[in-house]
Structure formats: C-alpha cells, structure tokens
C-alpha cells in the first residue's frame, strides 16, 4: 500500500493492507471485539462478545423468572396494577 500511496495523489485506504496508506480503516465490530475471533488484519480493543453473551444469559434468566411468576400467579400483583373507578367500570360494561 505504501508504494501506491507514494505514487498517487488519490487518498488510499487500508483495510488490512498495512499502515502506509493515507487512512487506516477497521470495522467497529472488529475494534470492539464483537465476534469470537477477530480477522487476521484486525485488532479487538475490548470484548463486547463476552458482554453480549452475559446479556443473553441474564435475558434468559429474566424470562424464566417472568414465566414462573406468571404461572404461579405472583405476577401481576397489586403493585403492578391500577384499579378503575367502579362507576367508570359499570358504565364501560353497559356500553359493551
């Protein structure tokens, strides 16, 4: 890439072709480590893959707890509900 950059006024961009280009480019998911293994030309500066995996584990735990509470009648409880005024409810029922 360096030899091309020396011989042209066109801006050269490197995606895995070395650091002698005018611009180096990496995809954000490579920089952030969003996959199991980075491509050879890339470098991960953090491990978002692990965070995504941890989020998935927590998401499944939350959904299982929701299902359990729903089936056992623990959700929704009084603290999760709003009661309607009796007069409004009766008027609604008449209109049905």
* Enclosing domain of residue 89: 53-96
Same domain, 35 and 6: yes
- φ, ψ for residue 75 (rounded to 5)? -135, 135
Q: What percentage of residues in the chain have a pLDDT greater than 90?
A: 95
pLDDT digits (tens, 9 = 90+) for 39-86: 999 999 999 999 999 999 999 999 999 999 999 999 999 999 999 999
Same domain, 12 and 31: yes
Residue 15 has pLDDT above 90, yes or no: yes
Domain count, the chain: 2
Q: What is the b/e burial string over 30-53, where b = at least 16 CB atoms within 10 angstroms of the residue's CB?
A: bebbbeeebeeebebeeebbeeee
Last residue of a domain, one of 31, 46, 61: 46
Question: pLDDT at position 93, please?
Answer: 96
């Amino acid at each position: 890439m360096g030899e091309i950059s020396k011989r042209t006024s066109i801006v050269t961009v490197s995606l895995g072709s070395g650091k002698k280009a005018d611009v180096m480019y990496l995809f954000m998911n490579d920089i952030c480590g969003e996959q199991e293994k980075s491509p050879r030309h890339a470098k991960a500066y953090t491990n978002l893959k692990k965070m995504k995996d941890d989020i998935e584990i927590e998401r499944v735990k939350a959904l299982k707890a929701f299902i359990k509470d729903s089936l056992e009648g623990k959700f929704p409880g009084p603290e999760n509900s709003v009661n309607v005024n009796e007069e409004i409810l009766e008027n609604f029922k008449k209109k049905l």
